[in-house]
């Protein structure tokens, strides 16, 4: 009796997951993603301080992170490109394995003996692991998810991603860094990544067969991730919008802290609290925007919730404190709205793959490239502050997001919105055409 009743329950739960944008085939992958991001994010809050305490200079530490960021940008593009020919599961397992092995080399050969050469080489190679695992799974999500719930799916993807990287890892470090010590805490990160990689290998079903890809298939995947931008220019526009998405975040990370503390008068703890609350709001927005996009239209959410709202709050970060000073309540509200606005770009991860349905992985590779490039462009713009001042740089950033608002509607194409949204749009267009025809008839 138990056998016949179990299957419908499983089927019903699978249908529920699918309706929420989580394909039952890869449901464990979302948890694996979160665990991996916990492991990858453990070092973010204290590694630079720890290395400073070990005697490494600020220039050496900056170079270490700069090289890491450059490799992440390249590997983010490769993750999407290779997932087309290798399959996302293989890419994720390779990424997790690289991270585990090179983290051991980084700690044993570099950090513990203080060997900077081993540190920078191993840290740079380890940088391949994060985008291969995380963005490889993003490709998998776009492959397994029906168009109607794609917005929800990418919302869940970024929710689990950010929960691991920005929330759980921070709480974990605060709980264990004193009893374990900094080095022990770094070692603990490997446990999370091992568990995540094993989960993908054992629990998540393969998208493609396990056969080894040919050299031609691999090369074709790499070529397609570049040629797709010429074949489908809208995909290239999507990559630009992804660059714009987090550009201000990486720019603010360079100069806004200094401005808010030294010029406006917030204490460091107050501003850190505002910044942390903003990140938490962004975590929630990653999920909210996915559901909102399937209700109100993906392009509308990106353009107005993302482009316009981000531009307004960027200006608010400068002009409101100019008027009210270090008012914690008012500025934290601006921070919350800013965090929510950044999350409204999440539907891009649904739209761009649907612009190239035959080559979704290549399209995601372009998105990944935009995300990686944002790591560089943001700080470059921040570098204009000593030359131009804070106010002009704030206006430059805001203007870029307004431009992005208009660029968003260049992505309009059949099939990129849920069917109900597309039906409403066609109906409105038909009514407008009838109204124009009637007006023309009256005038004649």
Say yes or no to pLDDT of 184 above 70: yes
The answer to whether 164 and 389 have CB atoms below 8 angstroms apart is no
163-177, 273-287, 304-318 — which is least confidently predicted? 163-177
287/173 same-domain check: no
Question: Which residue has tokens 């919008």?
Answer: 241
133/231 same-domain check: no
Query: 234: number of CA atoms within 13 Å, CB side?
Result: 17
Q: Could you count the other beta carbons within 10 Å of the beta carbon of residue 289?
A: 31
Domain interval for residue 106: 24-201
Question: Which residue has tokens 């500025």?
Answer: 331
- How distant, in Å, are the alpha carbons of 83, 90, 125, 170 from that of 78? 8, 13, 14, 29
Per-residue pLDDT of 232-242, as tens digits, reads 999 999 999 99
234/357 same-domain check: yes
CATH number at residue 338: 1.20.1250.20
The one-character DSSP state at 109 is I
271/191 same-domain check: no
Residues 6+ apart with CB under 8 A from 123: 64, 67, 68, 102, 106, 110
Alpha carbon dihedral 78, 373, 118, 79, in 10-degree steps, equals: -20
30/101 same-domain check: yes
Give mean pLDDT, residues 413-436.
74
Residue 429's pLDDT is 66
Q: Read off the pLDDT band of 11 (50, 70, 90).
A: low
Say yes or no to pLDDT of 327 above 90: yes
Per-residue pLDDT of 208-244, as tens digits, reads 544 555 666 667 667 777 788 888 999 999 999 999 9
Whole-angstrom Cα distance, residue 317 to residue 314?
5
What sign does the dihedral 19-25-152-169 (CA atoms) show?
A: positive
3-class secondary-structure state, position 30: helix
Task: Give the domain-ending residue among 201, 216, 236.
Answer: 201
Q: Which of 234, 239, 420 is nearest to 345 (CA)?
A: 239
Per-residue pLDDT of 353-407, as tens digits, reads 889 888 887 888 888 888 878 877 888 888 888 889 999 999 999 999 999 999 9
Say yes or no to pLDDT of 134 above 80: yes
How many domains is the chain partitioned into structurally? 2
Task: Give the domain-ending residue among 201, 218, 241.
Answer: 201
Helix (H) or strand (E) holding 172: helix 169-202
What average pLDDT does the chain have? 85
Q: Read off the pLDDT band of 45 (50, 70, 90).
A: low
407/365 same-domain check: yes
Residue 440's pLDDT is 65
Token pair in block for residue 405 = 């608002």
């Amino acid at each position: 009796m138990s056998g016949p009743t179990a299957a419908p329950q499983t089927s019903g739960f699978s249908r529920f997951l699918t309706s929420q944008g989580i394909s039952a085939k890869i449901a464990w992958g979302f948890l694996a993603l979160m665990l991996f991001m916990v492991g990858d994010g453990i070092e973010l809050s204290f590694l630079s301080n720890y290395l400073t305490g070990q005697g490494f200079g600020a220039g050496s530490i900056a170079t270490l992170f700069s090289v890491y960021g450059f490799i992440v940008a390249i590997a983010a593009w490769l993750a999407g490109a290779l997932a087309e020919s290798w399959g996302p599961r293989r890419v994720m397992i390779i990424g997790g394995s690289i991270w585990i092995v090179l983290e051991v080399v980084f700690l044993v050969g570099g950090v513990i003996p203080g060997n900077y050469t081993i540190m920078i080489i191993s840290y740079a190679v380890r940088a391949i692991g994060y985008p291969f695992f995380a963005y490889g799974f993003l490709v998998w999500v776009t492959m397994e998810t029906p168009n109607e719930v794609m917005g929800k799916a990418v919302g869940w993807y970024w929710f689990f991603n950010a929960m691991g990287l920005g929330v759980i890892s921070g709480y974990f470090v605060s709980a264990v860094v004193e009893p374990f010590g900094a080095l022990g805490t770094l070692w603990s990160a490997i446990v999370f990544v091992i568990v995540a990689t094993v989960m993908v290998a054992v629990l998540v079903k393969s998208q493609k067969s396990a056969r080894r890809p040919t050299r031609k298939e691999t090369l074709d995947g790499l070529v397609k991730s570049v040629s797709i931008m010429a074949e489908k220019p809208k995909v290239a526009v999507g990559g630009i919008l992804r660059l714009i998405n987090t550009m201000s975040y990486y720019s603010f990370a360079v100069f806004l802290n200094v401005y808010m503390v030294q010029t406006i008068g917030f204490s460091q703890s107050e501003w850190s609290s505002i910044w942390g609350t903003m990140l938490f709001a962004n975590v929630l927005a990653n999920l909210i925007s996915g559901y909102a996009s399937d209700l109100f239209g993906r392009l509308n959410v990106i353009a107005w919730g993302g482009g316009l709202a981000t531009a307004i709050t960027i200006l608010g970060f400068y002009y409101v404190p100019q008027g009210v000073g270090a008012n914690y309540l008012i500025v934290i509200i601006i921070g919350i709205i800013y965090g929510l606005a950044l999350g409204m770009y999440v539907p891009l991860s649904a739209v761009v793959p649907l612009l190239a349905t035959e080559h979704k992985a290549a399209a995601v590779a372009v998105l990944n490239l935009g995300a990686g490039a944002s790591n560089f462009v943001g700080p470059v713009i921040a570098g204009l502050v000593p030359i131009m001042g804070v106010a002009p740089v704030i206006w430059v950033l805001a203007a870029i997001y307004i431009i992005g608002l208009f660029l968003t509607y260049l992505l309009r194409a059949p099939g990129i919105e849920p069917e109900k949204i597309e039906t409403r749009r066609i109906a409105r267009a038909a009514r407008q055409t009838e109204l124009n025809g009637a007006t023309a008839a009256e005038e004649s």
